Amino acid sequence: MVGMFISAAYGWLQGGVTPGLVALALIVVVYPVLEEIVFRGVIQTALMKPTRRLSIGPLTLANGLTSVLFAAMHLLDHPPLHAALVLLPSLVFGIFRDRSDSVLPGMLLHVSWNAALLLSPLA
């Protein structure tokens, strides 16, 4: 389902827009928003109830499991080092989810994170 949404968004964005801007929009906005909805909104939320009392400091087991899955999913189209480096920011996004009881703060942080990573070589 996420793949269909991404394909539709890509097709919509491509109309009259250069491919570089489409890629930028996908990487900075579309992917982070969809990832936060799926991973923090659906998966982490589903894991919260059965693992409610299991945590180490600010890290809940639900966040840890979700973040490991999130990093593992990056192995599908990224090298292992990239996937491993995704784990720490994912844990931070999950902490925002746990503390706010909303995916929106993590979503905004994830969009900002991707934008900073993508645009930092231009600075």
Measured CA to CA, the distance from residue 49 to residue 26 in angstroms comes to 32
Structure confidence by residue, pLDDT tens digits, 100-121: 999 999 999 999 999 998 888 7
Q: What is the pLDDT of residue 1?
A: 44
pLDDT tens-digit readout, 33-92: 999 999 999 999 999 999 988 999 999 999 999 999 999 999 999 999 999 999 999 999
Q: Quote the Cα angle for 93-95-98, to 5°.
A: 115
Q: In the chain, what are the domain boundaries?
A: 2-122
Tokens read off for 110 = 């994830």
Q: Which stretch, 1-5, 8-12, 13-17, 78-82, has highest mean pLDDT?
A: 78-82
HSE-up (13 A, CA, CB side) for residue 5? 10
pTM of the full structure = 0.81
